[in-house]
Structure formats: structure tokens, C-alpha cells
Chain A
Amino acid sequence: DVQMTQSPSSLSASVGDRVTITCRASENVYKYLNWYQQRPGKAPSLLIYAASTLQSGVPSRFSGGGSGTDFTLTINGLQPEDFATYYCQQNNKIPQTFGQGTKVEV
């Protein structure tokens, strides 16, 4: 299986901060990389697909980058509703594995 490793596992931030989360794949996944947000007690929601394409309806303060094995999710100007857990997911190979998650806390 392709192992997805996110860093950090958790971070503390304040409203207005710029936050960057990193996701590393154990092998080349090209740009087949998605990012999801999960708020407590809720289902995940899609933020970014194909490494850098913003899902419809997602605020532009979210952006994604990278290719191959190294990817980033950046939130410019953290908002109160952004405190959540973020997951990366590769869809280059079956199983389409998720990272272990990054919790963004106050």
C-alpha cells in the first residue's frame, strides 16, 4: 500500500494565521492527491483534488500544491470554522490510502 504521512500531527494556531500542512507519499503519486476537512462529529468534506484544484464552493483561502511525493495544504487567514482535522488521500493506486490526519487547534 502507498503510505501517506502527514506533518505535523497537530498544530496550534490563531484566527488570521497562515497554516501549512505537509503530506508525503511513500512512492510517486503524481498529482493524484486530495485533501479533506473533517469537523468534530461530522463527515469529511472535499477541499482540493488533483493536488491543487479547489473543489466548488470551497473558500479561496485554501490552496494545495506539490506533485510526486510531496504535497502541501495551505490556509491563508485561518477562520474560526477552519479548526478541524485535515486528511490527504492518494488516488493513484488501490487502496486509495489516507494520511493519519492533522488536527488544527486553537
Chain B
Amino acid sequence: QITLKESGPTLVRPTQTLTLTCTFSGFSLSTSGVGVGWIRQPPGEALEWLALLYGDDSKRYSPSLKNRFTINKDTSKNQAVLTIINMDPGDTATYYCAHLSIKVVMGAISHAFDVWGQGTMVTVSP
């Protein structure tokens, strides 16, 4: 059974750095064909895709993040870590990590987030 849980501060000040940890079980992020994604959701708004980390340590980021976001893994701890520098009130959101399911469907490789963490709310305020 796959589970994920996000942890980190609930309140940060503008310009500070935020570090969120996703601790997971039921899979290993040390092999290819596996991944963890980060998604956020401002209060009352839609989901926003942020980044992907694959088991082979390759990474994909949303270009709109303007190099503020970094994702890394600690395989020994079964963790994926999201770091955001220069936090802004516009970064206030619930942050989710999710297991990336990679499947071959009719000859094509499909990606989907099949298991999600509960989310952690982060507020950016002076």
C-alpha cells in the first residue's frame, strides 16, 4: 500500500525559504519507472502542477516557477524534498505530494498521480 505525507512549516515570512518534506512508503524512489510529484492549490483555487522527481533522479519543473523551486530525494529515508526560495504571499497554498504512476496504455506512456498525500497548508505572511 502506497502512502505519502507532507510536512513542514505552516507559516513563513516573505523572502524566506520554505522546505517541505514528503515522506512515503510502499515504493522506492531508487529505480526508474517511479516518480513523485508536487502540486499546490491556493485557497479556493485550482490545482497547479509544480514539479516531478523520477527515481533515476531526473527532474522536471514548471517554467513559471522561475528557478525558485528545487526538488531532491533522500532514498535512505524514503523522502522527497521541495525547496522554495524567496517566498511570496502568492505562494500561500496547500502543497501536495503525490505518487506518479507510469503506465503503458495502448503503446503510449501515461503519467498520472494515483496516490496523494493529505496536503499541508502553508501561509506566507509578514
Contacts and interface: CB of A to CB of B under 8 A. Distances in A.
Interface of A: 1, 30-32, 34, 36, 38, 43-46, 49-50, 53, 55, 87, 89, 91, 94-101
B110 A87 contact: no
Contact of A44 (B61, B64, B113): B113
Interface stretch (B14-22, B25-33, B46-54, B82-90): B46-54
Nearest to A53: B105
B19 to A, nearest CB: 21
Contacts, number: 80
Most chain A CB within 10 A, of B50, B110, B118, is at B110
Interface residues of B, number: 27
Nearest to B115: A46
Interface of B: 39, 46-50, 52, 60-64, 96, 101, 103, 105-106, 108, 110-114, 116-119
Contact of B48 (A45, A46, A98): A98
Contacts of A49: 101, 103, 105, 110, 112, 114
16 contacts: A31-B105, A32-B108, A43-B116, A44-B96, A44-B116, A45-B116, A46-B113, A49-B103, A49-B110, A53-B110, A91-B111, A94-B52, A95-B49, A95-B61, A97-B49, A101-B46
A interface: dominant SS: loop
In the A-B complex, the 3 residue pairs with the smallest Cβ-Cβ separation, listed nearest first, are A95-B62, A50-B105, A49-B112
A95 B64 contact: yes
Contacts of B116: 43-45
Nearest to A45: B116
Contacts of B108: 30-32, 50
A87 B112 contact: no
Contact of B49 (A55, A96, A100): A96
Given A98-B47, A98-B48, A32 B62 contact: no
Nearest to B117: A43
Contacts of A43: 96, 116-119
Contacts of B48: 98
